[in-house]
Chain A
Amino acid sequence: MTLTEAEFDRVEAYLDGNLSPDENRQMEEDLARDSDLKQAFEEHRVVWEGLQVPVAVAYFQDMHEQLEEQGLLQLDAFWVETDEPEVFVMPEPDETTSPIEVAVHDEPEWDDKPGGWDGPTEPDAPDAHFDDSNP
């Protein structure tokens, strides 16, 4: 099904978030009721999404520059202070020191330490969080 020009404008306004709450509700009711409209909408949405990406790339290029200027892309950009002292277990204790040393840091701790890189933090389980039905 090809969208008429009026339907085309309405679908684009819906995807752009430019419909009023009443118009938005009506659009969703129509999509739920009319399978042909729903299919035409899905076909339109894929192309619309593809055309949004170059705009978003430019947005993130600007963002990168600003984050870099503000020093927010450095390794020490984000940190949290910890109240608890860290406990280090020494790998090779000798006779004069305890195998456990307690270090109280005056410096803040980084909340996102590098090391053992294969991902930023804990691996997360996959699941069905990807919805291809709701705009």
Chain B
Amino acid sequence: MILPSNPCSAFSTDELLYAGLKNNDDRAYACLYAQTFRSFAHYVQTNQGTMEHAQDAFQQGIAEFYVAVKSGRYQLSPSARLKSVLFEFCKRKWINELQSARHRRTQTLEVYVDQQEENLSDELMTFSENVNKVNRLLERMGANCQRVIDLFYIQGKPLVEIARLMNYTPQTARTKRYECTEQLKKLFWGKSQLNY
């Protein structure tokens, strides 16, 4: 990935930036990242987190935002700046994480969340919950299914390579990819018990 010295130079408006995001332009994401990360890191560091927490939480948040843009779930709104939407989304995820940690320690955490901000990222939060559920369920699947799905979707290996790595024929690798993904879908939608 080669980035220019100022990745925002080509994106003077949110419309241009969103077009860049839709086209998977590295510069567009670098611009959005650089514009938003500093604000978020400051927020986390003043709300019980470290720079390392901020980096991890932001990378998870912007990755989910990236997929939502790519799949068409998130579409540009004329009344919401992209960096504000991303910031609020990451902020709510961080607050949830703090609340979850406090809950585990049976303490209470008082955090003010503006209703306007809450509405802004409700859909992204639902999206984020689904992402977490998919990846939690994947960890509960059998070892072979986990490996096939990891190799195909996450590492991006071609089926021929997966067949070689797992000692399958190419057709078996294709069928396993199909069956394992269908099994994961059934688990997600509550239609099946684990049997792989």
Contact = CB atoms under 8 A, between A and B. Distances in A.
Interface residues of B, number: 74
Contact of A56 (B30, B66, B80, B81): B66
A85 interface: no
A47 B181 contact: yes
A126 interface: yes
Interface in B46-62: 46, 55, 59-60, 62
B62 A127 contact: no
B35 interface: yes
A68 to B, nearest CB: 10
A125 B80 contact: yes
Given A5-B178, A119-B88, A126 B154 contact: no
A88 interface: no
B154 A112 contact: no
Contact of B181 (A8, A62, A73, A124): A8
Nearest to B72: A134
Nearest to B5: A70
Given A5-B175, A127-B77, A132-B73, A120 B84 contact: yes
B168 interface: no
A67 B3 contact: yes
A129 B80 contact: yes
Contacts of B127: 49
B182 interface: yes
A130 B65 CA distance: 11
Nearest to B130: A46
Contact of A50 (B6, B36, B131): B131
B63 A59 contact: yes
Contacts of A61: 59
A63 B1 CA distance: 8
Binding site secondary structure of chain B: helix
B192 to A, nearest CB: 11
Contacts of B140: none
Nearest to A115: B42
A3 B177 CA distance: 13
Interface string A41-83: 0011111111111111101111110110010110101100000
Nearest to A46: B130
B63 A56 contact: yes
A80 B60 CA distance: 30
A43 B189 contact: yes
B124 interface: yes
A121 B83 contact: yes
Contact of A15 (B71, B154, B182): B71
Q: Which 8 A-B pairs have the closest CB atoms?
A: A50-B134, A129-B77, A130-B123, A56-B63, A126-B119, A120-B39, A124-B80, A51-B153
27 contacts: A2-B182, A43-B188, A48-B71, A49-B130, A50-B133, A50-B138, A51-B138, A52-B71, A55-B156, A56-B62, A64-B33, A66-B1, A72-B3, A72-B6, A72-B34, A73-B37, A77-B34, A121-B81, A122-B81, A124-B79, A124-B80, A125-B116, A128-B77, A129-B75, A129-B80, A129-B85, A132-B123
